[in-house]
Amino acid sequence: MASVRRFSALPGFRLAMGYTLVYLTLIVLIPLSSVGAKAFTLGWDAFWAAVSSPRVVASYQLSFGASLLAAGINVVFGLVFAWVLVRYRFPGKGLVDALVDLPFALPTAVAGIALATIYAENGPVGSLLKPHGIEIAYTPNGVLLALVFIGLPFVVRTVQPVLADLEQEVEEAAAGLGASRWQTFLKVILPHVTPALLTGFALAFARAVGEYGSVIFIAGNVPMVSEITPLMIITKLEQYDYAGATAVASVMLVLSFVLLLVINVLQGWTLNRNGKGA
């Protein structure tokens, strides 16, 4: 029996794949490969010296540690935000929904200046926290705050449509079978939204680990304390140390890729598990 040819509005696989590979090569692969090629012009000893100095290692710890922590915080509060926007009607809901996207539209430098002004020791919020020994601006806490600010929309907008697709009848059925609210959340809601939460986590982490504009104004940029890795790269570029800058950038690239790969593998495993469970 002759196979039925299916109509497709887009080009065939070969043509579409060809465009995809060419586009990825020009936009992604060539720039990234040039970073690695420039970095290894140093030679191994000089490369290792550039990427393993105590100041650079401290910046790795701050950038990746704060990014992971900020993404984790956004997963928790992003789920709550998305839940409120999907399940409840209240005055000003449209305004709240628009405010979630504000970090997308706001220039990062403006966000950093605003956060530094508010959370400085003499700022409206910082002055209230100072008597309790809590310092935000010009400390690693400021870095974390800025990364939480710019990463929240990624989680909310990823989880929101998934929650909208989850019918309330499923929760009502679980309650009718005797499940408590906590059991319903753990057994019904959480498995349904976990892939979206992992996607939001990955997006928030990817945005945070390379963030510069919103962090630079609130971090204080104290060596070994509140210097982020993108700042180290900019500093080396200003010193015309292009090979050293690309060496640090290549380490960031590799570490970010590995972490994102782990997250994607975990997301795929979660999807397969939920599919088999269904």
pLDDT digits (tens, 9 = 90+) for 232-257: 989 888 888 888 888 888 888 888 88
CA neighbours closer than 13 Å in the CB half-sphere of residue 99: 9
Q: What is the three-state SS of the chain?
A: CCCCCCCCCCCCHHHHHHHHHHHHHHHHHHHHHHHHHHHHHHCHHHHHHHHCCHHHHHHHHHHHHHHHHHHHHHHHHHHHHHHHHHHCCCCCHHHHHHHHCHHHHCCHHHHHHHHHHHHCCCCCCHHHHHHHCCCCCCCHHHHHHHHHHHHHHHHHHHHHHHHHHCCHHHHHHHHHCCCCHHHHHHHHHHHHHHHHHHHHHHHHHHHHHCCCHHHHHHHCCCCCCCCCHHHHHHHHHHCCCHHHHHHHHHHHHHHHHHHHHHHHHHHHHHHHHHHHHC
Q: State the pLDDT at residue 263.
A: 81
User: What's the CA angle centered on 124, arms 121 and 129, to 5 degrees?
Assistant: 55
Q: State the pLDDT at residue 223.
A: 84
Residues above pLDDT 90, as percent of the chain: 24
- CB-based burial of residue 33 (10 Å sphere; 0-12 exposed, 13-18 middle, 19+ buried)? exposed
For residue 30, pLDDT beyond 90: no
For residue 96, pLDDT beyond 80: yes
For residue 71, pLDDT beyond 90: yes
Return d(Cα 75, Cα 156) in angstroms, integer: 8
**pLDDT: which is higher, 178 or 157:** 157
**What residue spans define the domains of the chain?**
52-277
52-277 homologous superfamily: MetI-like (1.10.3720.10)
Q: State the pLDDT at residue 1.
A: 47
Residues above pLDDT 70, as percent of the chain: 94
Mean pLDDT of 134-149: 91
Q: State the pLDDT at residue 63.
A: 92
Confidence of residue 170 (pLDDT cuts 50, 70, 90): confident
Most confident of the following: 31-35, 79-83, 220-224: 79-83
Q: State the pLDDT at residue 272.
A: 73
